[in-house]
Amino acid sequence: MNFIQKKDMGFNKENLVVIDRARELGNQREAFRQELLKYPDITSASVSNAVPGSLIGDDAYFPEGATTDETHAINNIYTDPYFAEVFELELLEGRWLSEEIPTDTFAVVLNEAAVKALGFDNPLEHRLINDFGEEVDPLQVVGVVRDFHFKSLHQEIDPLILRWNYWNPDKLSVKITGYNQQACLKYIEDTWKTFVTDQPLTVTFLEDDLATLYSSDRNTGIIFSIFSILAIFIAALGLLGLTSFSAQQRTKEVGIRKVMGATVGSVMAILSREILWLILFATVISWPVGYFFMKDWLQDFAFRIDLSPWVFVISTLLALLIAILTVSIRTFRAAIVNPANSLRYE
């Protein structure tokens, strides 16, 4: 979960407010967007039919000059010229869509995965056909963006096409500075009410929306943590009982050793040695079990941590530390008993 929270998603997800049902704005969406930009804590805004983490559809595309046998199902986001600015996408080649270029209504920007899937060496020299089963105008590739995670980290980064939005968009993404968020949200709500009088505003933070993609994983982590604590507690009680039984069985031995000059520390070491060897043996057995279990679980993530040997080494040392602290409680009490009392013990 720490890896997921810190993973570079390929875009900036911070301070991004997403307005749902932006289609209610109708032909006023650009006027609404311009009104939002008048507020000093709103830096940019973009309309699109989807945002990272939301449901993104796909269409069939094939390179111009190829046959329909070379058709690829590619995810697409219909957007405007401000999408890259809002999400801070990295442009690798070419340019972004521009409203100053009329032909950009038939222009597309590809991600790296799409370039690879289509087999383009020089993507800016190619055009695509949107395979609707009828003759359509080709789409000119004008730019390439660095791959970004528009889906969950459970999945690989799929090919993606970003193209001009000619449909009524469902999302309006607003980039804010992060200062005085409540006042900023209040301004967005008030502005919405002046444009849409009969529908409530539905607004969320993109970070929260992305977090819901991993809610089941987070719940799994919480459950594992709770049961791990319970298992450690029960194991510690068992160790305490086993140590008490061993110390009781060796009471006379402890007395004789102390009479012969054994120190408290050496007696504690003798009483703890056997149990600590068993703990070490059990921990080593758990290594392959833990490794295969975690490796299997991590297969659900296309992007994941590597299972470092240090994870198992540190876990072993931690288990030994807990065991030593638990065992020491009882062995210390046994080691400080007066030898005279120990020798009279039956």
Q: How many CA atoms lie within 13 Å of 188's alpha carbon, on the beta-carbon side? A: 28
- How high does pLDDT run on average in the chain? 85
pLDDT in tens, 266-295: 767 777 777 778 877 888 888 888 888 888
Beta bridge partners of 175: 16, 44
If one counts every other C-beta atom within 10 angstroms of the C-beta of residue 310, the result is: 8
pLDDT in tens, 221-246: 889 889 989 988 898 888 888 777 77
User: What is the rounded average pLDDT of the residues 89-97?
Assistant: 95
| Residue 344 binned pLDDT confidence (cut-offs 50, 70, 90) | low
Query: What global pTM score does this model have?
Result: 0.75
If one counts every other C-beta atom within 10 angstroms of the C-beta of residue 161, the result is: 23
What three-state secondary structure class fits 55? coil
